[in-house]
Amino acid sequence: MSTLGRASASVSEVIAEEGLLGDPVPLWKRAWGRLLRKRSGQVGLIMITTLILIAIFAPLIAPYGPEDVLIGVEDVSRREAPCVHILGCDSSRPQHLMGVDGNFRDAFSRVVYGTRVSLMIGLTTVTAALFFGVLLGSIAGYFGGLLDNLIMRVMDVILGFPSLLLAIAIVAVLGPGIQNALLAISIVTLPAYARVTRASVLSVKELDFVAATRVLGGSKWRILFRRILPNALTPIVVLATLGIATAILDAAGLSFLGLGAQPPTPEWGTMLGSERNQIFSAPHLVFFPGIAIMITVLGFNLLGDGLRDALDPRLNS
Amino acid sequence: MKYRLLGGLAVSALAAALAGPAVAFEGLSVSAGDCDYGGKLLSIEATAEHEVVFTMCKPDPAFEAKAAFTPFGIQPSEHIASAGVDGSIIENPIGTGPFSLESWNRGDSVILAANEDYWGGAPAFDQLVIRWNSEGAGRLNELLSGQVDQITNLSPDDFATVQNNPDLQFLPVANPNVMYLAMTNTFEPFNDVRVRQAIAMGIDRERIVNNFYPEGSQVPGYFTPCSLPNGCEGDPWYDFDPEAAKALLAEAGFPDGFDTAIYYRDVFRGYLPEPGVVAVELQTQLRDNLGINAEVVVMESGEFIDESTSGRLDGFYMLGWGADYPHVTNFLDYHFTRGTVQFGDAFPEIYESLLEASTIADAETAAPLYATANNAIRELVPMVPIAHGASASAALATLEGAHFRPFGAPRFEVDNPGKSTLVFMQNAEPISLYCADETDGESLAVCQQITETLLQYGLDSGETEPALATDCSANEDSTVWTCTLREGVTFHDGSAFDADDVVASWAAGIDASNPAHVGNTGSFDYYAYLWDGFMNVE
């Protein structure tokens, strides 16, 4: 056989050259195709893309700055109801799509700029938790033994507390503020990534190609990070997507309690918290930030669900 | 002559000759021995069964106004001697008031029963229920649904809702108050008077009052509201002048401002109905007018009060004061007298005039001294008075006699809900029901229904009226006050009220060596503050 004469060629090259498996389609490309075919994935993707565009183009979309006080600028009253000209609001009145808040600021502009803050919170916390969670989970899963025990018991302790309560406790110690809130949320979400990564690594490390790399003399770290981890990423990606939604929700909760973003930052939870007493007299000031949180969380959840289905190997056929 | 002991002191019994020939009255008394301790009270003596004499170390023209304040409520001497000593008095008050305590359901309500034997006439209903809800919207919702008959601290945004609702009564509260932005002069850069003056000129107070306070609120010309005699002597406060303020700040070495914080507690008060919103407005004005970047920091209420009144906050802080009793000393002396550290080191330019003025009974004679003090406050700017806030209560239209007094909680015995139970909803649960050792308004509101003071404030003014004393009169220089007590009054436990009860109740608060000087926390703040310290401190 011709392959015997070319010992230096890799197995995959040989398979490709011989056309043994037909035209190979990369996993991620196939997953992307499946994601686009799933209704939940489509809707989630559209929602998140829209939110990202709103965040990027906030200065073009928002008619005012998020901290602009309209006293003496426009004839508006405090906590004024939304005024939308095409819905019949007198055109001589300044248009405020979501009304005016308790500090005479345009609520729509603040909700738009709030998209930046919320996405930043979601992405930052998940990135941090992902990095450390995957690192710790990989080490625990691959090396096992005492290191595994030590890392996973610490994770178990963190998981033993309700996440939001633990986040509140951490912020209470570190002091209120968006940075401390991000840190707290990262810490409380970290164990989930560590556990999932460890489980994936445990299953992948027993596969033949890992053994083959080991036999060929690959170093432990190279095997872990170049061979095992890329093949264990699927559940982590799904978890991270869903985790962004949870992180945004937790951050909004902390801010609502006055422990997260501080005024005048246009953060949705802070906006909700500062106007919670006006739920009867100015319901629009709690309704719109609440809806914004709901849409964002829903978007990431739908995208996460779509990704889970798209990356499920049982659906490969 | 017999002697009785009270509070570990040798106390003189009073001769029967004073009380009458038939029965010798053996009255209690408490004394500091001399005036070296620095306080205002030298002694309190039960000179007859229904007469008590307060001897002062120095004249106190505000005696009557103070004696009408709820912390000086009277309980039976026997009850003080037992429950006051073991501490159970904080949950088990016994008074002479129109209502007696039936039960305190922690976390839910306090139930009071009408006192059928009340000397002022039994209330028109059987039961008074006091509940609480910290959210303004929640309180109004309870009122709208008819679950409660009256609520306190109406949110400013709900004023119009209540005024336009024919099923509700809008009840303005005329309690004099002030909200101020304070600075502690022991921290940089607030140790520089030019910085403080720049801030005084750089804040548009009119914009704050007009936009963030309910109708009826005022921009203060002085720290003390002008409704109190001598409150507004001297020169009025600075006009808003951001250019001059900027120049002064530059002269002080901060042409581009500086970084600091605005501390506050998120608690509704008549002087500050929306703390968070006003904090953000101040943050905006400081940034726009003076280039000062102030982070807004919310603190837990108790911690905030401790830190601010101890002078430990290194930035701005928003605090206020609602009058306890109708006298200028309640505003100026409390905040600016010698030894106060709330604004850092106290200013002699302010407190020397105050100390002298506080001993003068005649308001007109004292006026020049208060003018000097007010001018010094303006010059030295320990704080910036921001607003005299208007506040309101609301009640169902069916509640006859609904009111909210300028000083103290409503006197529910004059109300008639037209049913057997009246439900009142306030901001928070009482801390304890022994108000000799409480400063919290929600506790005082409940105590006031149970225990009574020698005098009481009127329904619509701060004028004092007889209560357990039919009269309190002073000697010529206001150093001796003699109170004649009401006869035929009984406590809720059936015991008769007499002068010993007055002495025992006051002694528990003012005498640090008294076995009943225990209370809830033991601080007895109002005794210490209103009478310049405790007697017999070891």
Q: Would you say residue B537 lies in a domain?
A: no
CATH at B412: 3.40.190.10
Nearest residue of chain A to residue B141 (CA atoms): A280
Spatial distance between the Cα atoms of B295 and A63, rounded to a whole number of angstroms? 26
Give which of B209, B259, B296, B303 to mutate to test A binding, by max A Cβ within 10 Å. B296
Total domain count for chain B? 3
- Convert B45-57 into a string of H (helix), E (strand) and C (coil): EEEECCEEEEEEC
Q: Would you say residue B370 lies in a domain?
A: yes
ipTM over 0.90: no
Q: Would you say residue B298 lies in a domain?
A: yes
pLDDT at B17: 42
> Quick one: what percent of chain B has pLDDT higher than 70?
96
| pTM of this structure | 0.77
For B400-436, b where at least 16 C-beta lie within 10 A, e where not — what string? eebbbbbbbbbbbbbbbbeeeebbbbbbebbbbbbbb
pLDDT at A23: 55
Are A264 and B283 inside 8 Å of each other by CB?
yes
- Total residues found in chain A within this entry: 317
**Is the domain of B240 the same as that of B139?**
no
Nearest residue of chain B to residue A273 (CA atoms): B276
- Return the bridge partners of B7, or none: none
Instruction: Read off the pLDDT of residues A200-216 as tens digits, 9 standing for 90 and up.
Output: 888 888 888 888 888 88
Q: Would you say residue B254 lies in a domain?
A: yes
**Which residue in the block uniquely carries the two structure tokens 């029967």?**
B16
Axis crossing angle, helix A39-56 with helix A27-37, rounded to the nearest 10: 100
Domain of B30 in residue numbering reads as 5-91+457-530
Confidence of residue B24 (pLDDT cuts 50, 70, 90): low
Identify whether the C-beta of residue B214 lies closer than 8 Å to the C-beta of residue B159. Answer: yes
Query: Which of B137, B211, B298 comes nearest A277 by C-beta?
Result: B137
**Is the domain of B301 the same as that of B255?**
yes
pLDDT at A72: 87
Spatial distance between the Cα atoms of B99 and B118, rounded to a whole number of angstroms? 8
- pLDDT above 70 for B538: yes
Average per-residue pLDDT for chain A? 85
Average per-residue pLDDT for chain B? 90
Identify whether the C-beta of residue B201 lies closer than 8 Å to the C-beta of residue B245. Answer: yes
Out of B386, B406, B427, pick the residue that ends a domain: B386
**Is the domain of B430 the same as that of B492?**
no
Q: Would you say residue B536 lies in a domain?
A: no
Touching check for B212 and chain A: CB below 8 Å?
yes
Lowest mean pLDDT among A60-69, A228-237, B455-464: A228-237
**Is the domain of B212 the same as that of B155?**
no
**Is the domain of B245 the same as that of B354?**
yes
Q: With contacts defined as CB-CB under 8 Å, which chain B residues touch A280? A: 137, 140-141, 158, 161
| Higher pLDDT among residues B284 and A245, named by residue | B284
**Is the domain of B130 the same as that of B232?**
no
Q: Would you say residue B165 lies in a domain?
A: yes
Identify whether the C-beta of residue B133 lies closer than 8 Å to the C-beta of residue B425. Answer: yes
pLDDT at B293: 94
- pLDDT above 70 for A7: no
Domain A29-74+115-315 CATH class label: mainly alpha
Out of B412, B431, B448, pick the residue that ends a domain: B448
CATH at B217: 3.10.105.10
Residue A205 corresponds to which tokens in the numbers above? 């490390």
Touching check for A281 and chain B: CB below 8 Å?
yes
> Quick one: what percent of chain B has pLDDT higher than 90?
70
Spatial distance between the Cα atoms of A163 and A176, rounded to a whole number of angstroms? 17
pLDDT at A316: 53
Out of B386, B407, B432, pick the residue that ends a domain: B386
pLDDT at A314: 61
Are B280 and A176 inside 8 Å of each other by CB?
no
Instruction: Read off the pLDDT of residues B470-504 as tens digits, 9 standing for 90 and up.
Output: 999 998 888 999 999 999 999 999 999 999 999 99
Instruction: Read off the pLDDT of residues A154-178 as tens digits, 9 standing for 90 and up.
Output: 999 988 888 888 888 888 888 888 8
Residue A132 corresponds to which tokens in the numbers above? 């450390």
Identity of the amino acid at A8 = S
**Is the domain of B361 the same as that of B398?**
no
pLDDT at A253: 86
pLDDT at B93: 96
Q: With contacts defined as CB-CB under 8 Å, which chain A residues touch B297? A: 176, 262
Instruction: Read off the pLDDT of residues B286-342 as tens digits, 9 standing for 90 and up.
Output: 999 999 999 999 888 878 888 888 899 999 999 999 888 888 988 998 899 887 889
Nearest CA to B72 among B531, B427, B381? B531
pLDDT at A8: 44
Q: Which of left, alpha, beta for B64 (phi over 0: left; psi -120 to 50: alpha)?
A: alpha
Instruction: Read off the pLDDT of residues B160-170 as tens digits, 9 standing for 90 and up.
Output: 889 999 999 99
Are A264 and B284 inside 8 Å of each other by CB?
yes
**Is the domain of B279 the same as that of B331?**
yes
B353-374: average pLDDT: 89
Touching check for B85 and chain A: CB below 8 Å?
no
Dihedral Cα B502, B508, B513, B518, nearest 10 deg:
170
pLDDT at A313: 61
Touching check for B303 and chain A: CB below 8 Å?
no
Instruction: Read off the pLDDT of residues B122-142 as tens digits, 9 standing for 90 and up.
Output: 999 999 999 999 888 889 999
Interior angle at CA B399, CA B393 and CA B405, nearest 5: 40
**Is the domain of B13 the same as that of B136?**
no
